[in-house]
Amino acid sequence: MRALIQRVSEARVDVAGTTVGQIGPGLMILICAMQGDGELEADRLATKIAKLRIFRDAAGKMNLSVADMDGAALVVSQFTLAADTSRGNRPGFSQAAAPAEGERLYAYFARALADLGITVETGEFGAEMAVSMVNDGPVTIWLDTST
């Protein structure tokens, strides 16, 4: 699985003009299931993200996890993270999991993160979404379970 995470002071996702997910301080997580991914990868990624120490402590050092600071996560499906741009100018997405499996693993990942004690909001799988956020730092980190 691939994830792009951003430390945010706030984030929101709207579908057809209606807010479907919104958080205050925490993590904006764009997530993509890749071909061959399963629950093991989703669990590993959820655990890594929940423990990732990228929030400031009292001394201003990145030393706290989202769980430590009682933050939340906004999880949004993003199949374009599977983009292959190695040939030509039009990205290919054939490495992404099939839609049904991608949706299953997206929901599984969100539940796994919630089971780790993180408050989780989500977007709507497969929908045209308007995502807005205030990146805090900015801090943006790319994670891939295949590496």
**pLDDT tens by residue, 92-101:** 999 999 999 9
Positions marked active-site? 78-80
Residue range of the domain that includes 88: 2-144
CATH assignment of the domain containing 123: 3.50.80.10
Predicted confidence band of residue 60 (pLDDT cuts 50, 70, 90): very high
Domain count, the chain: 1
CA distance 68 to 117: 10
Predicted confidence band of residue 146 (pLDDT cuts 50, 70, 90): confident
Q: What do you get for the CA distance between the two ends of the chain, in Å?
A: 10
* CA nearest to 118, candidates 106, 126, 109: 109
**The dihedral formed by the CA atoms of 30, 44, 121 and 22, expressed in degrees to the nearest 10:** -50
The burial class, CB within 10 Å (0-12 / 13-18 / 19+), for 85 is exposed
* CA nearest to 9, candidates 116, 98, 136: 136
